[in-house]
Chain A
Amino acid sequence: MSWIGNAIVAVLLVAGVYVWWRARRNRLWREAMAALARRRRFALIILGIYVVIGMLDAVSWVGGDGVQGVAASEARSVIDRIFKPSVFREKSYSAPFASAEFVGGAALTFPGRHVLGTDLLGDDVLYKTLKGVKVALLIGGLTCLVLIPLALLFGVSAGYFGGRIDDVVFFVMSTLASIPNLLLLIALIMALGKGTLQVCFALGITGWVGLSRLTRAETLKLRELEYVQAARALGVSHFTIVLRHILPNLAHLVIITFALLFTGLVLSETILAYLGIGLDGSWGRMIDQARNELSRDPIIWWNIAAASTALFILVLCVNLIADALRDILDPRTLRERT
Chain B
Amino acid sequence: MLAYIVRRLAFGFATVLGVLGVLFVLFFAVADPDEMAIRAIGERASPETYTAWKRNHGYDKPLIINTEHDWTSIDRYTDTLLIEHYERMLSFRFGRSDSDDTPIWTRIREGAGPSLSLTLPLFVIGLLVAVALSLAVAFFRSTYIDRSVLVICMLGMSVASLIYIIGGQYLIGKLLRWFPISGFDTDPSVIARFLAIPILIGVLAEFGGTVRLYRTVFLEEVNRDYVRTARAKGCGEIRVMIHHVLRNALLPIITNVVLAIPFLFIGSILFESFFGIPGLGALTVEAINGNDFSTLRTIVYIGALLYILGQILTDICYSLADPRVRLGGGAGG
Contacts and interface: CB of A to CB of B under 8 A. Distances in A.
A308 B15 contact: no
B27 interface: yes
A174 B163 contact: no
A291 interface: yes
Interface of A: 170-172, 174-176, 178-180, 182-184, 186-188, 190-193, 263, 267, 270-271, 273-277, 284, 287-288, 291, 294-295, 304, 308, 311-312, 315-316, 319-320, 323
Given A180-B266, A274-B270, A295-B174, A319 B158 contact: yes
Chain B interface SS verdict (over half): helix
A172 B25 CA distance: 14
B157 interface: yes
Interface stretch (B42-50, B227-235, B249-257, B303-311): B303-311
Given A180-B266, A275-B285, A191 B30 contact: yes
Contacts of B285: 275
Nearest to A266: B160
B303 A316 contact: no
A190 B293 contact: yes
Interface in B1-51: 11, 14-15, 18-19, 21-23, 26-27, 30-31
Interface string B157-185: 11111110010001000100000000000
Among A175, A176, A263, A315, residue most surrounded by chain B Cβ atoms (within 10 Å): A175
Contact of A287 (B166, B174, B300): B166
A186 B15 contact: no
Interface in B236-285: 263, 266, 269-270, 284-285
A257 to B, nearest CB: 16
A294 B263 contact: no
B284 A316 contact: no
Interface of B: 11, 14-15, 18-19, 21-23, 26-27, 30-31, 154-155, 157-163, 166, 170, 174, 263, 266, 269-270, 284-285, 288-289, 291, 293, 296-297, 299-300, 303-304, 307-308, 311, 332
A184 B27 CA distance: 12
Contacts of B161: 267, 270-271
B303 A271 contact: no
B31 A190 contact: yes
Contacts of B23: 187
Contacts of A288: 162
Contacts of A182: 269
Given A287-B160, A291-B166, A180 B293 contact: no
